[in-house]
């Protein structure tokens, strides 16, 4: 194989790996943000339900 091909393969690997890794962490970030938002809503809902239940039980 010609030298120049090794050079192109080398540069492709460096930038390819970096790009794939960046893509992975960006997707992780988005997925986690979505999950956090969803679970926060769930937690708020539970808290409201709990406080409502507490008030009912107090009455």
Partner 1 sequence: MKKTDYLKMIFVLIAAVLTMTGLYMAFVWAPPHGTHIFDLDQEHKDVYLAEPISDELIEAFNSSEEHINLSYNATIKQSLNQNGRLWLIKDGDSTFWIMDSDTELKVFAENMGDVQRIFYFHVASAWVAYLAFIITFIGSLAYLKTNKMKYDILAFSSAEIGIVFCTAAIITGGLWAKGTWGEFWRWEDRKLFMTLVLWLVFMAYLALRSNSDPGKARARLSAVFSIIGCMCIPLSFAANRIWTQSHPTVIASESGSLQTSMVFTLITAVFAFSFLYGAILLTKMDVENMREELEEIKQEIGDLDG
Q: Which residues bind partner 1 (CB under 8 A)?
A: 1, 3-4, 6-7, 9-11, 13-14, 17-18, 21-22, 25-26, 28-29, 32-33, 35-36, 39-40, 42-43, 46-47, 50
Question: What is the nearest approach in angstroms of partner 1 to the Cβ of residue 57?
Answer: 16
Q: Which is nearer to partner 1, 14 or 55 (CB)?
A: 14
| C-alpha radius of gyration, the chain, whole number | 25
């Amino acid at each position: 194989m010609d030298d120049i091909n090794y050079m192109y393969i080398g540069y492709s690997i460096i930038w390819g790996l970096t790009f794939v890794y960046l893509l992975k962490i960006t997707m992780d970030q988005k997925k986690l943000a979505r999950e956090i938002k969803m679970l926060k809503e769930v937690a708020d809902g539970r808290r409201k339900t709990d406080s409502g239940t507490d008030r009912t039980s107090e009455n």
